[in-house]
Structure 1
Amino acid sequence: MREMIMIGARTLRLTRTVCVWLSLLALVVNMPVSSAAAGSMRSIECFNSGWRFIQGDPFGLGDTLSYANVKAWLLPAIDEFRHFQPSGRSPLQARPKPRASYAQPDFDDSRWRALTLPHDWGIEGPFRQEYPGETGKLAWWGIGWYRKAFQIPASDAGKRIYLDIDGAMSYSMVWLNGHWVGGWPYGYSSYRLDLTPWIQPGRENVLAIRLDNPEESSRWYPGGGLYRNVWLIKTDPLHVAHWGVFVTTPLITPQQALVDLQIVVQNDLTEESEAEVVTRLYEMDETGRPTGPPVASAPSTALHVAPECQAFTYVSIPVAAPRLWSLRDPQRYIAITRLSRSGKLCDEVETPFGIRSIAVDSEKGFYLNGERVQFQGVCMHHDLGALGSAIHVRALQRQIEILQEMGCNAIRTSHNPPAPELLELCDRMGMLVMDEAFDCWQEGKKR
């Protein structure tokens, strides 16, 4: 089996037999964030408030929603994520119609617990001495349901509506207004679902999410629940695709760096579109915002996008006298990509990145910007101690501050992808990251 070192959502294939995700600042950065500029059609809404929660399935459901029974419908919903399909759409296959009352929009959930995400039901206890020590002696396993009622303005008709889930532990299954949407089994991966076919602009909508955390499925404390942030994304039908800006810095000298961008544009219209793409690069200030005039820009690129397909464009932008990202000075830049159709702005996204070089020598070790760096790192699981697995940015920041005070310069995320906020903090604070994909290959250490 070949090693896969994954940087962002793209893969470099090597020849050994280990699989890790490596994020050393971000040789590739492909998680754009919205600028919410005037006229931009993209919006990103924190979707953490107003949820209802209950543990357990409704009476009589049995194994109707076991992973084995829904796998055939669940996986096609995220085919693009699994296979990096460059164009086209998975057809809307016949959705399963389990008689789960909790998924129906007219179900009365008023007796369910009201809460705000992120949420880890395991840390709420109680502790039980009879549980194995590796569980934290907390019951993180079991089934949980979340429901949220929300309004979509009538003015959003015609937009694409997406649900981004940064992490759901685990075997998540999602319904909107009683319709099966999809899900994702792995509790540590971020993923996106398209809500557009079932959204009701101008009316109340009801989202239902079921999680099934198997007992003895982890050899450490994983937590249970919607333990990371959830987002509602709205875009124009012609927009930059999910994780659609891919940045590399292949050539760096003291005088100039070359910044390469691969940009993926998605056309959800039933007619072809002519798009114009412009990207400008800015220095990033301490608050994470662009500062000053552009340090470089690319000329407008015309792009033809077929109906219901994706199209790629590639640009190379030279940056004079680049400021390099390093452990001592984690300087970053922001690529602002603007997408227009017929002179009208359709989308705008911001992609933070760092300019730096990495190299590995079999005898001398790791080099950052031509300087040998000795890894002084730790293995760090995703939980936050007494806070459980529910993501908390200040707690993550405090962990990194303590590690840096003791001389640490690197983190191995044992043994799974961390929350996006951890990677952002490491980029900002000057930490190297070995971003692992998962714990095992073919033989699990647990069932």
Structure 2
Amino acid sequence: MLLKKIKVMDMRNLTLKSALILASLLLNGFLSNAQKKINFDEGWKFHFGHAANPDKDFNYSTATIFSKSGAAAKTAIDPKFADSTWTSVNVPHDWAVELPFENSPNFDVESHGYKPVGGFYPETSIGWYRKHFSVNKKDANDRFQIQFDGIYRNASIWLNGFYVGTNMSGYVGMAYDVTDYINFDKENVLVVRVDATQYEGWFYEGAGIYRHVWLNQYNNLHIPEGGLYVVPEIKGKEAIVAIETSVENKNLKTSQCTVYSYITDRNGKVLAKTNEQKLSLAVNAQSTVKQKLTINNARLWSLEDPYLYKAFSVVKQDGQIVYQTKTRFGVRNVRFDAKDGFFLNGKHLKIQGTNNHQDHAGIGSAMPDYMR
């Protein structure tokens, strides 16, 4: 529909602004079915489990979750489990901040802001989350990834009863390819069990899914997570920017594509662009394309002027963009000297900082974006 509308436009009368808008529409139109980031913050169900009693933890134990006889069906992992009586919540969510204060001398309570979370409080240290969602059948040829920006802590994840993975750290996000577990003809159920009985710091750490959750949808031919690597090097007034782009093929056959990169200033003006480099990838293969671009009269990043450029990497197949990603980067020169200290762009600086924690009074670790 978009292309039909474009054909009837008089291209000769386009102003520069209109041309930029048109280019943006074209790009977004080509990408709309290939790369989506769907917010999964709303519509969760929550219930406390129990760290010391499987009967109060929805029968969660080694006897059930590792059984080959289907005993896991008796737990909250089972997609058919009835959670209608559970508490409805949206994430980010911190269950610890909602608990009453506890006057106790043990370190568990001190490190959780005197909230009853930790080994001494098994009844309020395990949290279960469940989310029901649907995926359109027309997207069955795409790949899907569940991304958690932060869960405190020791979180195990299941989708439709299939174990997806466990992340022990409360401060490292995680992402899992769940393409093989997605249902396209019926409802999906995502389950997360969070164990906050242990701690990682001596400060208030909260408990639960305290950051955003996303369902990422993308092409089988794509740039994997962490697949864009950018390193600038100063050469006089120029910056030579080395860009490495990794491409992965999850199609069921060998795939041909081209890869190119470009750099813009902070306002989106294109400063440099590479040629399209051809790439052939076997099934499940991954390859890295190395390219270099030059920024003339590079504006250096400094404390007084923290200027950032943008680097884009684009994958095309059959003449259409199937995936793209971007990152921001600064051009600067850093040097550490054992005797004289730290230098930024040739200027001596003392490294200073503050001891900032990630919680806020009244809302705990579930910080909304506008509070950060």
After TM superposition, the score normalised by the length of structure 1 is 0.69
Q: Find 1:127's aligned residue among 101, 119, 128.
A: 101
Q: Which residue of 1 aligns with 2:360?
A: 384
The equivalent residue for 1:50 is 43
1:97/1:350 CA distance change after superposition, 3 Å: farther
Q: Any residues of structure 2 matched to 1:234-249 within 5 Å, and which? A: 234-249=217-232
1:64 aligns with 2:62: yes
Match of 1:150 in 2: 133
CA distance in 2, matches of 1:255, 1:97: 67
**Pairs within 5 Å for 1:30-109:** 37-40=28-31, 41-57=34-50, 59=55, 61=59, 63-64=61-62, 98-109=72-83
Paired residues for 1:225-236 under 5 Å = 225-236=208-219
Alpha-carbon contact 1:254-1:322 (below 8 Å) kept: no
The change in CA–CA distance for 1:192 and 1:216 in structure 2 (over 3 A counts) is closer
TM-superposed CA distance for 1:198, in Å, is 0.8
Q: Give, in whole Å, the separation in 2 of the partners of 1:385 and 1:36.
A: 43
Q: Which residue of 2 aligns with 1:139?
A: 116
Task: From the CA coordinates, give the structure whose radius of gyration is larger.
Answer: 2
User: What's the counterpart of residue 181 of structure 1?
Assistant: 164
Q: Which amino acid aligns with 1:277?
A: V
- Does the aligned pair in 1 maintain the 2:263–2:272 contact within 8 Å? yes
Counterpart Cα distance in 1 of 2:362 and 2:349: 34
**Structural mapping, 1:27-426, within 5 Å:** 37-40=28-31, 41-57=34-50, 59=55, 61=59, 63-64=61-62, 98-130=72-104, 132-141=109-118, 142-215=125-198, 218-249=201-232, 251-285=233-267, 291-292=268-269, 294-396=270-372
| C-alpha deviation, 1:254, in angstroms | 4.7
Over residues 221-275 of structure 1, what are the superposed CA-to-partner deviations in whole Å (9 max), with x where a residue is unaligned?
A: 21110011111100100001112101111x2145210111111111111222122
The runs of at least 4 consecutive aligned structure 1 residues that moved more than 3 Å come to 96-100, 215-218
Q: 1:260-292 deviations in whole A, cap 9, x for unaligned?
A: 11111111112221220111111114xxxxx23
Distance 1:284 1:276, change over 3 A: same
1:216 CA drift (Å) = 5.4
The one-letter amino acid paired with 2:28 is A
1:175: Cα distance to partner?
1.0
- In structure 2, the CA distance between the partners of 1:140 and 1:333, relative to structure 1 (3 Å rule), is farther
- Identity percentage over the alignment? 30
Change (3 A) 1:215 1:336: closer
Counterpart secondary structure, 1:271: coil
Seen in structure 2, the aligned counterparts of structure 1 residues 277 and 201 have a Cα distance that, compared at 3 Å, is: same
- Aligned-partner residue type, residue 113 of structure 2: G
Report the secondary structure of 1:128's partner residue.
coil
Deviation at 1:62, TM superposition (A): 5.3
Q: 1:367·1:373 contact (CA, 8 Å) conserved in 2?
A: yes
Question: In 2 relative to 1, CA 328–114 (structure 1 residues): closer, same or farther, beyond 3 Å?
Answer: same
The residue type equivalent to 2:244 in the other structure is Q
| Structure 1 runs not aligned, ≥5 long | 1-34, 71-93, 286-290, 397-447
> Are the structure 2 counterparts of residues 349 and 37 from structure 1 closer, same or farther at C-alpha, using a change threshold of 3 Å?
farther
| Partner AA of 1:348 in structure 2 | Q
C-alpha distance in 2, partners of 1:234/1:183? 21
Q: Which has the higher contact order (CA 8 A, sep 6+)?
A: 1
- The whole-number CA distance in structure 2 between the counterparts of 1:143 and 1:233 is 27
